[in-house]
Amino acid sequence: MMRSCNLPSGAAMPVLGLGTWRMGESARRRAEELEALKYGLDLGYPMIDTAEMYGDGEAEEIVGDALAGRTAKPYVVSKVYPHNATRSGTIAACERSLKRLRLPRIDLYLLHWRGGARIEETFEAFHRLRDAGKIADFGVSNFDLDDMQDAARIDKGLNGSNQVLYSLSRRGPEFDLLPWMRKRSIPLMAYSPLDQGGLLRKAALKKVADEVGCTPAQLALAWLLAQPGVITIPKSSTLERVKENFGALDVKLAPEILRELDRAFPPPNGKQPLEML
């Protein structure tokens, strides 16, 4: 069984999913991207993360195609653009996403980043969508600690997750954001867990991966999966990498390996600005 994290609502969210950032941007790559998503679902990935921003909605269309005809649906995450995140705009954007995904409900619906609309309006819309059964849970993305504290004033204790840039080579959230979220049982979704492939070129990562007997990508993902309250969503359009990433679930990291990774990729010793890609 796939491990999961519990959201403040009590719902369970899988710890590993398929990312779709930059899918849907090229008609030439569409068939390859669709095949990768279908293959990942066949392997057993229980979650897909997408957004109305990705390919201007085309990524959601591809996800809808990948889900078509499947009896068992994965956990689906999508996001609303900040400029659509007014009270009425959020509801309209969600309806468009549901149509592209061909789903009656989105499991987790996020504000993609803060900007434009007042978050009071966005969260009011989230509550309305939840009450209407259009979404099961809601959350945010690219929120630093002060943003999360603002959201906590109006979320009625139901802010389900915060999706941020987090990996072995970008550990800033560990200083204050991640501890704050853990105290409130709000899972952190780590996007770009391989740092856009840059992490895989690190000699230190390959050295430790050889010791463990896995690939560098599997080690980087296994490290995230070993963190309490952390979920990750690697994206790939190649079948080999989709399968390789899924193998991270079988990698167990001994305490001495975790200490070696801390030496190679030190945790932050002070507050760092939240990074975005």
Torsional sign, CA 86, 91, 97, 99: negative
Q: How far apart are CA 115 and CA 118, in angstroms?
A: 8
Residue 54 designated active-site: yes
Instruction: Look up residue 76 and give its two tokens.
Output: 């689906």
Residues 176, 25 contacting (CB under 8 angstroms): no
DSSP 70: -
Residues 193, 232 contacting (CB under 8 angstroms): yes
Start-to-end CA distance of the chain, whole Å, equals: 32
Q: How far apart are CA 233 and CA 175, in angstroms?
A: 22
Strands 188-191 and 230-232: parallel
Instruction: Look up residue 93 and give its two tokens.
Output: 């954007």
β strands within 64-158, DSSP E? 75-80, 106-111, 135-141
Strands 106-111 and 75-80: parallel
CA atoms within 13 A on the CB side of 249: 20
Q: How far apart are CA 184 and CA 195, in angstroms?
A: 27
Q: How far apart are CA 102 and CA 77, in angstroms?
A: 13
Residues 60, 52 contacting (CB under 8 angstroms): yes
| Catalytic residue from among 39, 45, 54, 166 | 54
Q: Which residues have a catalytic role annotated? A: 54
